[in-house]
Amino acid sequence: MIPFNKPYLTGKETSYIEDAVKSGKISGNGKYTKLCQAFFEDRYRIKKALLTTSCTDALEMAAILIDLKEGDEVIMPSYTFVSTANAFVLRGAKIIFADSLPNHPNMDASKLEALITPKTKAIVPVHYAGVACDMDEIMQLATKYNLYVIEDAAQAIDNYYVSKTGEKKALGSIGHLAAFSFHETKNIISGEGGLLAINDEKFSNRAEIIWEKGTNRSAFFRGEVDKYGWVDVGSSFLPSEIIAAFLWAQLENLDTIQARRKEIWNTYYNTLQSWASQNNIDLPWLPDYATNNAHMFYLVCKDLNQRTALIEQLKTHNIMAVFHYISLHTSPFYNGKHDGRALANTDHFSDCLVRLPLFYELNEKEVLDKIILD
């Protein structure tokens, strides 16, 4: 069986974990945590980075940082993982779901202004497949209506947005806050893990307190206060040094990992063009303002029946392909809370999108032979 995903190990993970254990500092915020955080700050021009135990935790921290209250509204796509919404629902917010673009699962930024009300507190763009949302449009709306932008960059490590002025900006460095994931299905992994990116410096000090269970413990260890105590809300958001050590081995090899993933992505794209056209199947679309980090390769079938048949065809050849999100506005938990607007593009992707295997050690030609030659 060719699996949908296979975690890639660089070879340094266990030696760094052993080093962390031998150091006697494994509870978090030690050597490897600092190395990982500095990597994001230096490479992607993020003002402050904090490792978290998951991307979900990073999003929950963001919701706390913007002082989200009961009844506040948060705009986000319906075509996303439930964690994107849960982080804000837990604070009492009402989710206002935006439709996808016609040719990409990302939210349609041109339709967002109509969703903004006096209760709107934040916009949460999700960079689906690592591909940038229209961040110029979104940031302009945020400025106009005094809103926060929290990027869900779970899939978007090492990818960029090209602004209208030609400036290349790393995803996760544009919004006021952003969240990354290092789940085992992502490009760079630590099993579970995440990172909060803080791009508005007014959040920096409080973020560190929330991260440290609501205490000013980090300031104490830097010698900035003579004792530490409970000064704000917070939780155990920081991961252990064992997770950070694993992650550091991955980050050291980011360029090698990315090069291989892009090679697979490009082979898929170039080989499948003719077959996809003949079968009325769409290949991934990249807007002019987005680069490609090869997080995933997907196909968009013409309808649900075609997608089901394709998944079954691949399964008979021992190839695991999967569909992705079911629209959150149709979910059992939220469909009664949704305002009833039709989100046709979102529903189309829910019915028609299928993801092909993509991981470092994949023999992509085996997959392609079964798709094209069968």
User: Chain-wide mean pLDDT for the chain?
Assistant: 95
Confidence class for position 223, pLDDT limits 50, 70, 90: confident
106-130 pLDDT tens trace:
999 999 999 999 999 999 999 999 9
Whether 345 has a pLDDT exceeding 80, the answer reads: yes
Tell whether 7 is covered by a domain: no
Q: What percent of the residues of the chain are helix, what percent strand, and what percent coil, each to the nearest 5?
A: 40, 20, 40
| pLDDT at residue 373, as a whole number | 64
Place of tokens 């090209």: 162
Residues 186, 258, single domain; the answer is: no
| pLDDT at residue 47, as a whole number | 98
Whether 62 has a pLDDT exceeding 90, the answer reads: yes
Residues 181, 310, single domain; the answer is: no
Tell whether 215 is covered by a domain: yes
Confidence class for position 64, pLDDT limits 50, 70, 90: very high
Q: What percentage of the chain reaches a pLDDT higher than 70?
A: 99
End-to-end CA distance of the chain: 17
**How many angstroms separate the CA atoms of 246 and 288, rounded?**
35
| pLDDT at residue 200, as a whole number | 98
Residues 220, 326, single domain; the answer is: no
Where is the domain boundary, 193, 225, 252? Answer: 252
Whether 217 has a pLDDT exceeding 90, the answer reads: no
Residues 125, 259, single domain; the answer is: no
Mean pLDDT of 245-250: 98
Residues 30, 113, single domain; the answer is: yes
Task: Evaluate the CA torsion angle 207, 209, 214, 218 in order and state its sign.
Answer: positive
Q: Look at residues 145, 139, 143 and name the one whose alpha carbon lies nearest to residue 171.
A: 139
Helix axes 344-352, 304-316, angle to 10 degrees: 20
Tell whether 97 is covered by a domain: yes
Residues 270, 237, single domain; the answer is: no
Tell whether 297 is covered by a domain: yes
**How many angstroms separate the CA atoms of 203 and 49, rounded?**
11
Residue ranges making up the domain that contains 317: 254-372
Tell whether 6 is covered by a domain: no
Residues 307, 322, single domain; the answer is: yes
Higher pLDDT, 215 or 306: 306
Tell whether 2 is covered by a domain: no
- DSSP character for 215? B
Confidence class for position 225, pLDDT limits 50, 70, 90: confident
132-181 pLDDT tens trace:
999 999 999 999 999 999 999 999 999 999 998 889 999 999 999 999 99
Whether 251 has a pLDDT exceeding 70, the answer reads: yes
Residue 350, class by beta-carbon neighbours within 10 Å (0-12 exposed, 13-18 middle, 19+ buried)? buried
Residues 101, 242, single domain; the answer is: yes
